[in-house]
Amino acid sequence: MDFWMRLKKEIRQKNTTQEWLAHKIGVPFGTFRKWMTRKTYPNIQEGIEIAKYLETTVEFLVTGIRSDELNSIEKKLINSFRKLNNNDKTNTILAVNAWADKKINK
C-alpha cells in the first residue's frame, strides 16, 4: 500500500471526505483532486496538515508504520540511524539489504 492508498483509507475510516479535508488544509478541491490522481503533490507543510486533520502522522502516511507499533529495539535503531551522516546511512541500508537477502535466499 502506498501513500495515496493509505490517505484514501484514512479519509474513509475517519468518515470524512476529500472535500472536507481540502477545505481544512486550505487548498482548492481541484488541487486536492490533482494530488489524489497523482498529477501534482502536496508540499511537506500540506502533508503535515493532512496528517493532523486525519489524526495520524506523516510517517504513517508515507511508510505505513505507526510509531506506537515499534518496539524498543526498533526505536533505538531508528534513533541511531538518524544520527548517521548520509554516506553512513547509505552504507547501513546496503548492508542490511545484503544481510536480509542472504537470510531470505537460505
**CATH at residue 11:** 1.10.260.40
The whole-angstrom separation of Cα 42 and Cα 50 is 9
Residues 50 and 10 in one domain: yes
Render pLDDT for 41-51 as a digit per residue (tens, 0 to 9).
899 899 999 99
Q: Break the chain down into helix, strand, coil percent, rounded to 5.
A: 70, 0, 30
> Domain range spanning residue 60?
3-67
Q: What pLDDT does 104 receive?
A: 67
What is the count of structural domains for the chain? 2
Q: Model confidence at 79, in pLDDT bands (50, 70, 90)?
A: confident
The whole-model pTM stands at: 0.64
The answer to whether residues 57 and 92 belong to one domain is no
Q: How confident is the model at residue 54 (pLDDT cuts 50, 70, 90)?
A: very high
Residues 23 and 37 in one domain: yes
